[in-house]
């Protein structure tokens, strides 16, 4: 199965970001991808944290979700939409919620949303020069989510969902491995500072320790707000080998994922069966 990790440099313009995503999704489909993964905050990286509140949608309706469903149908493509801001169910019927979920949605080729994952771990970082605290506008999710993807190669892939900062919490991914997941998704917007230090080693570690493929689609560049994201969107195999990557700028990172190779790695080194704790 060919998988595409789409790298973007999103701006504060929703329309521009959707146009950029449409171009990349078309390129992925034209290259033979069955699954395309957009990065975290693909629809908006604003100048302020609260900018995302202005584009929040209720689950199941809204222009961003309609765009994603239409693209999946038009291209015959599985799409995992990085993240978009979803209004909590307990929010007032009218008006914007002050805190939203940072949600990753999976759409099948018929345009149906088959899975929703709300980011569990919220990023906080302050080195005295740059500071981030997602909890100011985000509400944390509570549950892991996975879905089944029947690919053209005859294999049904079990796909585990996560987002960005989750990458630092190995127990989430070990839980997925225990439930038979083959492919881990990590749409992200790592800062340049933390990405330079930790991104590659964390992505490859999650693949190696769980004997899973990992598709990590990232934001990669300098945004209008001045924020710099690390990029280096990657596809990694269960042995930790980087199959494809791109350092910076928008692009499509594409590689085939081989279910037979996955089975071989797990057979030759059955580490998941050797766990004692």
The residues carrying an active-site annotation are 40, 119, 164
CB–CB of 7/20 below 8 Å? no
- What DSSP assignment string belongs to 133-147? EGGGTEE------EE
d(CA 159, CA 76): 18
Residue 247 phi, psi dihedral angles, 5° rounding:
-70, -60
The closest of 230, 213, 232, 234 to 221, measured between CA atoms, is: 230
CB–CB of 43/124 below 8 Å? no
Q: In angstroms, what is the C-alpha Rg of the chain?
A: 17
d(CA 228, CA 248): 10
CB–CB of 128/119 below 8 Å? no
d(CA 227, CA 45): 9
- What DSSP assignment string belongs to 56-69? -B-TT-SHHHHHHH
CB–CB of 93/126 below 8 Å? no
């Amino acid at each position: 199965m060919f998988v595409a990790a789409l790298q973007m440099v999103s701006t504060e313009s929703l329309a521009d970001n959707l146009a950029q995503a449409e171009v990349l999704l078309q390129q992925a489909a034209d290259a033979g991808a069955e699954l395309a993964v957009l990065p975290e905050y693909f629809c908006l990286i604003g100048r302020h944290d609260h900018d995302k509140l202005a584009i929040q949608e209720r689950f199941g309706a809204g222009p961003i979700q309609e765009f994603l469903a239409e693209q999946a149908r038009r291209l015959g493509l599985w799409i995992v939409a990085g993240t978009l801001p979803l209004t909590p169910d307990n929010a007032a019927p009218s008006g914007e919620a002050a805190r939203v979920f940072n949600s990753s949605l999976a759409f099948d080729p018929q345009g149906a949303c088959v899975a929703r994952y709300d980011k569990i771990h919220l990023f906080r970082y302050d080195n005295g020069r740059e500071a981030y605290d997602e909890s100011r506008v985000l509400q944390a999710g509570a549950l892991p989510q996975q879905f089944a993807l029947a690919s053209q190669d005859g294999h049904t892939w079990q796909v585990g969902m996560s987002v960005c900062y989750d990458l630092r919490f190995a127990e989430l991914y070990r839980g997925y491995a225990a439930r038979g997941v083959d492919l881990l998704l990590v749409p992200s917007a790592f800062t340049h500072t933390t990405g330079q230090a930790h991104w590659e080693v964390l992505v490859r570690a999650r693949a190696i320790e769980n004997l899973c493929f990992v598709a990590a689609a990232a934001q990669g560049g300098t945004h209008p707000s001045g924020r710099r994201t690390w990029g280096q969107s990657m596809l990694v195999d269960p042995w930790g080998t980087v199959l494809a990557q791109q350092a910076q700028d928008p692009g499509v990172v594409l590689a085939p994922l081989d279910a037979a190779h996955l089975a071989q790695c797990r057979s030759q080194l059955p580490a998941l069966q050797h766990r004692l704790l």
